[in-house]
């Protein structure tokens, strides 16, 4: 079984998002991006990478928060292979203009509500991806940022196309 790499970004007291009044004023929301093969591992052209986004909040967090997964570091050397229907079932909406997937979160952490939610998609490294290319993603709560090198991003070097 392939290893799973995990990266985490913690967002507390996000401006414009309010938790129910029973929640602490600064409710943490953790966004985790995992990849199989694991982030940092080398991938060959043609490899399919499975990405899973997880949002967790042990305390009440209001419905409607949006996670944006920046795919600009992925799409130059890979393509999304999940169908539109598969993306929709995971709650993901493609945004071709911004090279991103958006994910509107359900309520988390409230009585009767789950404390986490997940969304999954797949991408395939292009057969022509050059050696050293690093297909990457960066998921963060909308209005915050995440770049490769931050703990909320995934990246893996490609071995390069055969010549």
What CA–CA distances, in Å, run from 83 to 53, 66, 67, 133? 17, 21, 20, 24
Q: Where are the alpha helices (DSSP H) in 12-140?
A: 84-89
Q: Give the residue with greater pLDDT, 160 vs 22.
A: 160
Segment (H or E) for 93: strand 92-95
DSSP label at 113?
A: S
Q: What percent of the chain has pLDDT over 90?
A: 31
Q: Evaluate whether residue 22 is within a structural domain.
A: no
* Of residues 141, 163, 159, 162, the one with CA closest to residue 37: 159
Identify the domain containing residue 9 by its residue range.
Answer: 5-17+29-155
Distance (Å, whole) CA 68 – CA 81 = 18
Q: Give the residue with greater pLDDT, 161 vs 68.
A: 68
Q: Evaluate whether residue 23 is within a structural domain.
A: no
Q: Report the pLDDT value the prediction gives residue 142, as an integer from 0 to 100.
A: 86
Number of domains in the chain: 1
pLDDT at 6 over 60: no
Q: Evaluate whether residue 85 is within a structural domain.
A: yes
Q: Report the pLDDT value the prediction gives residue 156, as an integer from 0 to 100.
A: 63
Q: Evaluate whether residue 24 is within a structural domain.
A: no
Region label for 26, one of left (φ > 0), alpha (ψ between -120 and 50) or beta (otherwise): beta
Q: Evaluate whether residue 125 is within a structural domain.
A: yes
Query: Using an 8 Å Cβ cutoff, are 67 and 140 in contact?
Result: yes
Residues listed for the chain = 163
* Of residues 149, 146, 115, 117, the one with CA closest to residue 53: 117
What CA–CA distances, in Å, run from 142 to 48, 85, 103, 138, 146? 27, 23, 10, 12, 10
Sequence-distant (6+) residues with CB within 8 A of 97 are: none
Q: Evaluate whether residue 162 is within a structural domain.
A: no
Distance (Å, whole) CA 75 – CA 121 = 13
Whole-prediction pTM value? Answer: 0.76
Quote the tokens at residue 105: 């979160």
Q: Evaluate whether residue 12 is within a structural domain.
A: yes
Q: What is the CATH number of the domain that holds 61?
A: 2.60.40
Q: Give the residue with greater pLDDT, 99 vs 8.
A: 99
Q: Give the residue with greater pLDDT, 46 vs 5.
A: 46
For 26-81, how does the pLDDT look when each residue is reduced to its tens digit (9 = 90+)?
Answer: 447 888 888 888 877 788 899 999 999 998 888 887 777 899 999 988 898 899 99
Q: Evaluate whether residue 163 is within a structural domain.
A: no
């Amino acid at each position: 079984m392939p290893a799973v790499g995990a990266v985490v970004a913690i967002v507390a007291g996000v401006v414009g998002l309010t938790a129910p009044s029973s929640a602490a004023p600064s409710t943490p929301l953790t966004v985790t991006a995992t990849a199989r093969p694991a982030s940092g591992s080398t991938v060959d052209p043609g490899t399919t990478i499975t990405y899973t986004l997880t949002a967790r909040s042990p305390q009440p967090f209001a419905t409607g928060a949006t996670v944006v997964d920046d795919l600009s570091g992925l799409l130059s050397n890979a393509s999304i292979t999940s169908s539109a229907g598969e993306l929709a079932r995971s709650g993901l909406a493609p945004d071709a203009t911004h090279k991103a997937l958006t994910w509107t979160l359900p309520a988390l952490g409230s009585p009767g509500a789950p404390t986490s939610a997940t969304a999954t998609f797949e991408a395939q490294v292009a057969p022509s991806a050059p050696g050293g290319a690093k297909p990457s993603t960066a998921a963060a709560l909308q209005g915050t940022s995440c770049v490769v090198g931050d703990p909320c991003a995934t990246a893996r070097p490609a071995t390069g196309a055969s010549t």
